[in-house]
Amino acid sequence: MKTNRLLDLFHSGQGAVAGWMSLDSAYAAELVGASGFDAVVIDCQHGMAGHAQMLAMLQALSHTAAVPLVRVSQNNLGEINRALDAGAYGVICPLVNSVAEAVAFGRACRYPLDGMQGDRSFGPARGLLVGGADYSQHANAQMLALAMIETRAGLDAVEAIAAVAQIDGLFIGPSDLGIALGLGPAAAHTHPVLAAAIARIQQACQAAGKVAGIWCGSAEMARDMLTQGLQLVVPGHDAIWLKAEMARRLAVVRARPVAG
């Protein structure tokens, strides 16, 4: 089976940088996938892609070097299985607030094979195309299950959540977490309260031998988080990138002397 390059990056201690798709366009996905990111996350929670677009984006990402991940809209067996059967090499699940929810999420990502406890139903579909004929034998080891910590309840239970066997790591949603901590959605990651929460989540991951990742609004925050030891960072998303570059270009053009 084609292996998950993110696992190699995590094991080697290098960390990984992921792109993030809010657009519902397979062409946009392959542009992002071909631009140097280690992974690309298709966001089916706050992004625009529904099932058909997710599938088309996974298909287009398959020829790029980026590992395809999906953020599902919720902790739901059916939806998680569809993302994996469509060829995702990992799932980011929002709003994991308890050990029970983490177990449900993790089980949804695993076949009940080889001693792993799981609820993933068998029918690998595109997994065979992107992973190979032996997909089902290795999928349990290659698929990433990343649980989002972004509520007060999730943070309170973070050490136990990190220890759930079927979970590979935690992924921090700083906007929702900032709201939950009373800071609002735009708190800086350097704010002591938010920074402490991030550190606690990171430590829970380290203690459990799991990966810690975080969504970042800016490249600078992503750089800082990597430096701090988080292993998966996301320096904004496609809509943010478009807006930033359009603003930059419009400023250049509009700054001209008025044509006479």
Residue 196 sits at the vertex; the CA angle it makes with 91 and 100, to the nearest 5 degrees, is 40
Q: Which is nearer to a second copy, 2 or 160 (CB)?
A: 2
Q: Which is nearer to a second copy, 163 or 195 (CB)?
A: 195
Q: Which residues 1-20 are close enough to bind a second copy by CB under 8 A?
A: 13-15, 17, 19
Dist CA 173 CA 216 (whole Å): 8
Binding-site member from 117, 121, 190, 206 for a second copy (CB under 8 A): 121
Shortest Å, Cβ 163 to a second copy: 23
DSSP state of 24: -
Span from 98-106, 155-163, 192-200, 243-251 in contact with a second copy (CB under 8 A): 243-251
- By the 8 A CB rule, do 115 and 109 touch? no
Dist CA 211 CA 202 (whole Å): 8
Dist CA 236 CA 215 (whole Å): 7
Residues whose CB falls within 8 Å of the CB of residue 191, separated by 6 or more in sequence, listed in order: 178, 183
Shortest Å, Cβ 105 to a second copy: 13
Shortest Å, Cβ 167 to a second copy: 19
- By the 8 A CB rule, do 211 and 169 touch? yes
Helix, strand and coil content of the chain, in percent to the nearest 5, comes to 45, 15, 40
Q: Is residue 74 part of the contact set for a second copy (CB under 8 A)?
A: yes
Shortest Å, Cβ 136 to a second copy: 6
Q: Is residue 181 part of the contact set for a second copy (CB under 8 A)?
A: no
Q: Which is nearer to a second copy, 163 or 176 (CB)?
A: 176
Q: Is residue 191 part of the contact set for a second copy (CB under 8 A)?
A: no
Cross-strand pairs, 21: 42
Helix 77-85 × helix 99-108 angle, to 10°: 30
Place of tokens 């994991």: 96
Exposure on the CB side of residue 189, measured as CA atoms within 13 A = 20
Q: Which residues 140-169 are close enough to bind a second copy by CB under 8 A?
A: 150
Q: Is residue 101 part of the contact set for a second copy (CB under 8 A)?
A: no
Q: Which residues 203-242 are close enough to bind a second copy by CB under 8 A?
A: 218-220, 222-224, 226-229, 231, 233, 235-236, 238-239, 241-242
- By the 8 A CB rule, do 126 and 87 touch? yes
Q: Which is nearer to a second copy, 58 or 162 (CB)?
A: 58
Q: Is residue 116 part of the contact set for a second copy (CB under 8 A)?
A: no
Q: Is 63 a catalytic residue?
A: no
Binding-site member from 8, 160, 188, 249 for a second copy (CB under 8 A): 249
Binding-site member from 7, 32, 164, 211 for a second copy (CB under 8 A): 32
Q: Which is nearer to a second copy, 67 or 86 (CB)?
A: 86
List residues with catalytic annotation: 46
